[in-house]
Homo-oligomer: A and B are copies of this chain.
């Protein structure tokens, strides 16, 4: 007992305030050294004789390892930061769940930040990740311009050999791993499919103008329209943000036009759902009068009526491969030779087109 303070301190009210049990308490209790306790509780072996004693004492005293101390000393954190523009977009929610399921067995926890597309929030999130010493991080596209301060922080991560994975962000100064969705191939297939099924006047309901996904998807559509020599009008390209409300607004504008488009290609499923909403409310038949297509294939796509024809992102594969890459980089402490993980969206034909 000598040299150790009491683990129970008496408060003024006369109640007891239970402190956390430490490896020293268990060491004292069992007569072995703190080191041995730590080793056994850390899963490495000791003398069976000691193992029994230690495990039993730990259980009896209600020992709970202090990750803060553990991580401080070992220089890890067991945390993977995930920054998304809006977790309320099911696409991101699904990705979080898949990432968590892949990360947990590897001993990692996901620290999620939903920035709401706000620049300041995004910067705060990165600062917090840095202060938390995340072992790796995944950055989803901000749905707008990106702050300069962000790049500075990202660069520091890489200098410290903390792996960074960028998704849907324009290539910039920093050389990090990237998730690359082949928006061009996806949209080309989509527009071709629409043309093949007789659509000639294709309109585009897009997310925010600044985002890379928006630009790539929109440009691919225009290029394909041009290549197929379909009708093209600048006012058939509408922009907003990746929400059902925006999709509804944009579609309402399209409905005013003359000639009216016979197909609406939306930048993602949320936009498409909003478009569907407005069309049905206006008595426009989908897909008879107007075809509607989405992007992502979130669960919602199968719940709206008619079911959405869309482009499926291989989320499971992405989540798995990203975590594998991160683990690899974290264990080898190498962030050199940035990798690009390529994925092609798959056309899923349902009812809306």
The chain A residues found within 8 Å of chain B, CB to CB, are 17-18, 20, 62, 64-69, 71-72, 77, 86-88, 90, 93-94, 96-97, 100-101, 104, 109-114, 116, 121, 124, 127-128, 130-133, 156, 159-161, 244, 273-274, 276-277, 280, 299-300, 302-305
Contact = CB atoms under 8 A, between A and B. Distances in A.
Contact of A156 (B62, B66, B160, B277): B62
Given A18-B159, A304-B303, A133 B100 contact: no
20 contacts: A17-B161, A18-B159, A64-B127, A65-B131, A66-B131, A67-B132, A68-B132, A69-B72, A87-B96, A87-B97, A90-B93, A93-B93, A97-B114, A100-B113, A109-B132, A112-B112, A274-B303, A303-B303, A303-B304, A304-B304
Nearest to A113: B100
A90 to B, nearest CB: 7
B67 A133 contact: yes
Nearest to A114: B97
Interface of A is mostly: helix
A299 B88 contact: yes
A64 B131 contact: yes
Count of chain copies: 2
Contact of A97 (B72, B88, B109, B300): B88
Nearest to A155: B62
Contacts of A116: 97, 101
A277 to B, nearest CB: 6
B114 A111 contact: no
B160 A20 contact: yes
A87 B77 contact: no
Contacts of A112: 96, 110, 112
A68 B77 contact: yes
A1 to B, nearest CB: 23
Given A86-B97, A112-B112, A305-B305, 15 more contacts: A18-B159, A20-B160, A68-B77, A68-B132, A68-B133, A90-B93, A100-B113, A101-B116, A111-B111, A274-B303, A276-B303, A277-B303, A300-B303, A303-B303, A304-B304
Contacts of A87: 93, 96-97
Contacts of A104: 121, 124
B244 A299 contact: yes
A127 to B, nearest CB: 8
